[in-house]
Structure 1
């Protein structure tokens, strides 16, 4: 599928006329005279002095790039879709092909220099031939193969491209890995070359360079520098991937150790599978050996004292040793199966290698848990203290509740469902009378006072007091006094209140109690303020019974919402959960009495195993070849056995150092690397003390970051593919039968990996969750998908296969430089047999479709990956 629409060439103006392209004949009639025929020459390459700076709108690779794939083709894009053919002195040939007057060439920097000429930059290149005499430059006669018009919208008619159309020149040369290049837009015809070098073009004809000459001196209209990286790109690496089959010898057996044979002679000939985290065969079930239990005790059957073997996980299992048949199943399995005991010993060794760091981590985490429990204790005390206030608020009317809740108006949400919004937003544009205390609201309603203005006066007092402003004298008192006089509250009020703080207190008393209950202490209050208050009291009208207000309305329906939001049983848990992020507190549930969260050691076990005991990961890693994939099965019991041993050893070390632990902790529970989401890492396993009487290998956690939960199939890849191209996606896809073989079933969603990580420098693994029987029906594909990123042109890297004809190619996307037998793209490199509707060499549009690089999807069937010889 092509990206947009391609055209082979485009011309405008007089050169688009039929006939000769270097002249045009006109019949000119002047003042009624007989017509005169005039032959006028058209401008050509010899009249070009350069390109405008805005002519070029993009290049690929980017200037200065150091990792361009050698098989890819550089290109330059022009704003004018007709530019490459506008000055061409030739006409279209019989096949409708038109040679452009510009070309894009790439010259090794160690064989060329670019310097400033009188008018344009000048390229001087030498030694442009290979050892066998072939030119490093493309054939000028084939330049039309690399020129085309691109209409990205693909919406125009067949004759003209759309408004966003551009023209493009593609370099037709095979580049060399590890080489630095000059990419240069140069004139294709000799007349243009001479004109750019300030040489009279005269009647110069032909092309600007000869393939037989090792030298080239030419003007440059535009140039940039880049370097080629490795020769293989993402498509080449994907095509080179192949399955590698491991035989059963890779899944070895281990004999029960000789030291078991002395107290337990019956074990001398016993052999068990050598368990690893990844295995080429289905992981075996644990094989607990009851005969091994005497070796787990301090004395043998004769009563002789001997050094007992450790019972891994005894503290977490709350068992003395694994000889007890009543001990948890997982505990018996890991201690009675010698192959699992070996892995538990690896886990213990991991802890011994970094015990100081791990003990310090647990000690620091324990302090954080103590602090969290202290916060919880204070939260419970605050809830108990606030219950009385909550009960009183439940009886208050809407204005009182609203006034009380205003400090939290932006954080308190009221309403239901989609209408739920902050209290402040619910009050926006409402009558401020609803914010006043009930006493003031009643007086305002009786006296016909503008309650909004009265409330604003109070608000201004509080604001200026909070800002540290002087509210005495003319700042606030006159305004308030005027309002009170207008309300009929006082007939004579002093013009000023000298004591600003006491003035504000009086306003608060007035809001809370009304005029009759103002608390004035003459011993502490200036005479002016006392007189002011007395005047208010003396002039206040005693309300009659008919003035007593009825029930206060709740016009916004907020009383119940506010009372509920202020309930500490609802308001406290979310705030505490936010403060104790990572402690596992549900903001919607009641607060727990204590936090018992165990710390989780952040380093994944698999990375530590790789450093200390790589043979525990999988058998025969060293036998994997480059660009191969091995299918494995994940052994969850083996990973849990390692963690049991690690937590057993860490618990012993914590107790040895006197670190108090309320419970038998198990901090080593992260199996695989995983990105965090800004908080504490989720463990991959449940705490050992919560495993119960369950089998080993069934204790995966289900946290947001938990990895390895139910991992089954694992693909291990030895290739630079993912390291160089990390945006390649790896998935499991259902297969389907189409009558000719198995194909991808695109109707079903792919399965993404549950775990991923690296093993050393060139090994990477992808683990997938269970999907049922991997071989049922048509089976599954391990699929690699190259993302679609921009537009690119290129050919696959050379291969060891002999050159193929068009009839031997499955698609143009499979074409490689080996099939062209040369370092440049030529019209006669392949036969003209159509493939995918495109014919090699038929024009610039067809070549653009052939050379366009399409995203590649490569699938390997799991039957090839999991076949065991």
Structure 2
């Protein structure tokens, strides 16, 4: 465990063993021992100093320096620029090097530095070289004879047996756990501006700093001034400004706080709204009392005051009539869209707002659930209208912040819109050009996509999508048939195709005509200008001598992969085939005839179409050329036919999935990654909403505090009240707020579907600076279960949190005040530090400068009522501080501890400076401190231990603050 230790002084290095010289300068007197080793006889050249030689090494003193490194100043109290310092405390300054105040002072001399505090009207440092200077008037001069009492060392050490050794080790290592401190003993006054200055405490330091040259060392033994004599001009090594607040320490202000039972304050926590005539243009029902009110609770309410339903006071038929009329008004727009109901007779369409309709998708207010409760009860509609009103008042600011967040989303929306347009254009083009294309033509057209188009065939082995070229490579189709060159050669409308059409128009002549037609296909070309009978018409019939036809015939033979190479080669046909680079024979026309008829049956076309319109193109996709006698499906081992392949190709080139995949790989936007091609509109515009991590409770209390807590303005000063949160209020406010903001977004053409929850936090996170990673108070409103009651959708499940409201000057003066909940010790007292479980607030909301709300998840209302729980208000601790309490105005309890001392108990001279000696029985020794170690005036460490200000805390019993407690 770490403890706090005080030491009066510390010196390390040469100064620790230095003594005061005759001229007043510190000096070191080392002793030297010389040892001579004789190596040879007669070697006596070494001369030793004569016996009794006295070596004196003078050290740098206060008159040799003009300051210190200002980076050594670790902390100033009160801080620089402070405007409300506690006047009961003493000003002080800390140094990171714990030996700095004694580095230039001999062991028996006081520190060479001092801290003085001047009122601004007494003097302010003026610029001069080498240092600023200030004139200290007599009333601001404390007695430098006691300077050693106002400088000490503080160390934060672990509990060990040798604190002195730890302190010395920390000083040598320049540990941050060991610091030096100068304290000014001047008592401060409230509402006064001060200047604190670190100045030399010796006359030598004063002369060196003012004149800019080394001073007479003998002046190091003289103080810089004689207290109360005459004004003295001194150099300033370091200085800062601060101002004290009104009189009153934290303890004094905190003791003013009084616990208040909120149920004893008339109208507190509830606001009455007149509802006798909710429709100004209509008369209220007959028999309605002159005054009818509805009770509306604020965001905070008295614990246990929740009501299950709304009841007007006094009971009146006006409430039922109002609900009926309101229901008709709210449902009128929805009836216009209901095909099962006749349109409303009224012509008007402007009705009261239906809160929550855009989130639930319901156009009726009587659909049950939280939306009905929100819309038909005045207490909730008024709260929702407050949320809507906030948007109306802040719309320009909110929209500016919304567009700032929408920058990347707008660019993403543009790209998605372009992708959707491209997909639609691609779909129209495919419908026009590819939908009517037969299987053979479509397969041929897809040849350039062999390496880029991945298809999934849906086979029994459920293979993953693969490139089209890899799929076809496993079939019996030769590689040459699946090339762009082959596609260009067989393109529709080409020169070979036109000649093939002319050849096909010749009268058929049985097999010879068939062979001629085959030779006249797109690859074989038109008939030659001259033909020659072979004498063997059963084999070939007519021999073509057209060079183009011969080259095409060679290509066909290669595609047939060897089966036709056994045919007899004759005449120019073989010559032209060899010219084309192929060693082939003439085709077997009877086998080709069977193949033609088989292909016509498979593709659903006529033999003439197969021969003249594109047989070779179909050949690449539908024929297995292993045998011309037994044609096979092109899939071979895959079991895939032309229809399967072309169907897979059509799926693979659908534009919507391709564009969707491209956009998903490029962008990350709300809803885009979850979109799928089967969705009705997968590339729909990106719908998003901005997000504001703003605790709306703070905005509510800033703008409409009487709606946040009705009766807050009438709460007395210096009050402590225990309340609880109202979840239904928070949800109604957020529904109205988000609904109105979504309408504003749509009006400003923001890309949203009006269902987003831009404001999801009503209360704030724990701590002075909110944790933005904390979960929001509510989920997206569009996801709220309709059957869950209003107020049951937050992360607490609708549970109210006990909230401590503190109003008092103590919060204005000490804004960092800490509040915790803790279970009391066995004797009912506050557990000491390190004991018990302390619960910080779940959130803190400042209502105004002197009023704050502290909400706790623990304890619950039931736990607090059972007893044993405390709410502790603790003074903020910024660092070590010194001072005394204000004088007690009334009867004071017996003095028990040093920390109970007041300014009335300690000796103070006529100029307002503490006297570090007992004077006239002051200070008295507290009862529990009698016989203990600290004693007033013994040394600087004891003065520090007695004047040390421990944080003050005040506890309130939770059960006593509940209504009826």
Task: Please say whether Structure 1 and Structure 2 have the same fold, judged by a TM-score greater than 0.5.
Answer: yes
Contact 2:738–2:759 (CA under 8 A) maintained in structure 1: yes
Task: Give CA deviations for 1:621-672 in whole Å, capped at 9, x if unaligned.
Answer: 2234556543321111123333455567678889999999977777665534
Alignment of 1:247-396 (within 5 A): 247-249=264-266, 250-252=268-270, 254=272, 257-259=275-277, 262-263=284-285, 265=287, 272-288=294-310, 292-298=319-325, 310=352, 312-313=354-355, 315=357, 324=366, 327-350=367-390, 353=393, 389=454
- Rounded Cα–Cα distance in structure 2 between residues aligned with 1:6 and 1:234: 24
Task: Give CA deviations for 1:231-256 in whole Å, capped at 9, x if unaligned.
Answer: 68996698467355232411346376
Task: Give CA deviations for 1:515-536 in whole Å, capped at 9, x if unaligned.
Answer: xxxxxxxxxxxxxxxxxxx9xx
C-alpha change, 1:312 and 1:853, in structure 2 (3 Å) is same
Contact 1:26–1:37 (CA under 8 A) maintained in structure 2: no
Deviation at 1:618, TM superposition (A): 0.5
Match 1:622 to one of 680, 698, 713: 713
2:573 aligned residue: none
Deviation at 1:181, TM superposition (A): 1.4
* Residue 169, structure 1, aligned to residue 234, structure 2: no
- Rounded Cα–Cα distance in structure 2 between residues aligned with 1:347 and 1:697: 16
- Rounded Cα–Cα distance in structure 2 between residues aligned with 1:350 and 1:116: 53
Report the TM-score when normalising by structure 2. 0.53
1:184 aligned residue: 198
2:923 aligned residue: 830
Match 2:801 to one of 705, 712, 726: 712
Alignment of 1:610-759 (within 5 A): 610=701, 613-624=704-715, 628-645=719-736, 670-672=761-763, 684=778, 686-687=780-781, 690-700=784-794, 710=799, 712-718=801-807, 730=819, 732-743=820-831, 750-759=838-847
* Residue 58, structure 1, aligned to residue 73, structure 2: yes
Contact 1:629–1:716 (CA under 8 A) maintained in structure 2: yes
- Structure 1: gaps of 5 or more residues: 91-97, 130-135, 405-533, 535-567, 703-707
Deviation at 1:697, TM superposition (A): 0.9
Deviation at 1:8, TM superposition (A): 1.9
Contact 1:84–1:147 (CA under 8 A) maintained in structure 2: no
Give the greater-gyration-radius structure (CA): 2
* Residue 75, structure 1, aligned to residue 102, structure 2: no
Deviation at 1:782, TM superposition (A): 3.8
Deviation at 1:698, TM superposition (A): 1.0
C-alpha change, 1:388 and 1:820, in structure 2 (3 Å) is farther
1:138 aligned residue: 142
- Rounded Cα–Cα distance in structure 2 between residues aligned with 1:208 and 1:783: 48
Deviation at 1:103, TM superposition (A): 3.1
- Structure 2: gaps of 5 or more residues: 34-46, 329-344, 427-448, 471-580, 582-655
Deviation at 1:617, TM superposition (A): 1.0
- Rounded Cα–Cα distance in structure 2 between residues aligned with 1:101 and 1:608: 54
Aligned residues: 670
Task: Give CA deviations for 1:345-397 in whole Å, capped at 9, x if unaligned.
Answer: 43454455567888999999899697697599799999xx99973869x99x9
Contact 2:74–2:95 (CA under 8 A) maintained in structure 1: yes
- Rounded Cα–Cα distance in structure 2 between residues aligned with 1:120 and 1:725: 36
SS in 2 for 1:258: coil
Contact 2:841–2:856 (CA under 8 A) maintained in structure 1: yes
Deviation at 1:687, TM superposition (A): 1.8
Choose 825-834 or 601-610, whichever is displaced more: 601-610
C-alpha change, 1:178 and 1:44, in structure 2 (3 Å) is farther
- Rounded Cα–Cα distance in structure 2 between residues aligned with 1:178 and 1:263: 66
Alignment of 1:78-89 (within 5 A): 79=97, 81=99, 84=102, 87=105
- Rounded Cα–Cα distance in structure 2 between residues aligned with 1:115 and 1:315: 70
- Rounded Cα–Cα distance in structure 2 between residues aligned with 1:299 and 1:620: 30
Match 1:224 to one of 207, 230, 239: 239
Contact 2:77–2:91 (CA under 8 A) maintained in structure 1: no
SS in 1 for 2:277: helix
Contact 2:374–2:380 (CA under 8 A) maintained in structure 1: yes
Alignment of 1:773-852 (within 5 A): 773-783=862-872, 792-795=880-883, 798=886, 801=889, 808=895, 810=897, 812=899, 817=903, 819-820=905-906, 822=908, 823-827=912-916, 828=918, 830-833=923-926, 834=929, 837-852=933-948
* Residue 124, structure 1, aligned to residue 124, structure 2: no
Deviation at 1:848, TM superposition (A): 3.0
Deviation at 1:799, TM superposition (A): 5.7
- Rounded Cα–Cα distance in structure 2 between residues aligned with 1:577 and 1:824: 76
Choose 687-696 or 659-668, whichever is displaced more: 659-668
Between the two structures, name the one with larger relative contact order (CA 8 Å, sep ≥ 6).
1
C-alpha change, 1:810 and 1:315, in structure 2 (3 Å) is same
C-alpha change, 1:32 and 1:755, in structure 2 (3 Å) is closer
1:767 aligned residue: 855
- Rounded Cα–Cα distance in structure 1 between residues aligned with 2:865 and 2:891: 39
Contact 1:255–1:269 (CA under 8 A) maintained in structure 2: no
2:492 aligned residue: none
Task: Give CA deviations for 1:24-81 in whole Å, capped at 9, x if unaligned.
Answer: 999999x99999899x999899984446745983254299922273534222538473
- Rounded Cα–Cα distance in structure 2 between residues aligned with 1:194 and 1:362: 65
1:215 aligned residue: 231
SS in 2 for 1:342: helix
C-alpha change, 1:696 and 1:844, in structure 2 (3 Å) is same
- Rounded Cα–Cα distance in structure 2 between residues aligned with 1:121 and 1:365: 55
Choose 712-721 or 138-147, whichever is displaced more: 712-721
C-alpha change, 1:50 and 1:691, in structure 2 (3 Å) is same
1:106 aligned residue: 117
Contact 1:583–1:595 (CA under 8 A) maintained in structure 2: no
- Rounded Cα–Cα distance in structure 2 between residues aligned with 1:656 and 1:375: 23
Deviation at 1:14, TM superposition (A): 9.5
C-alpha change, 1:147 and 1:287, in structure 2 (3 Å) is same
Report the TM-score when normalising by structure 1. 0.58
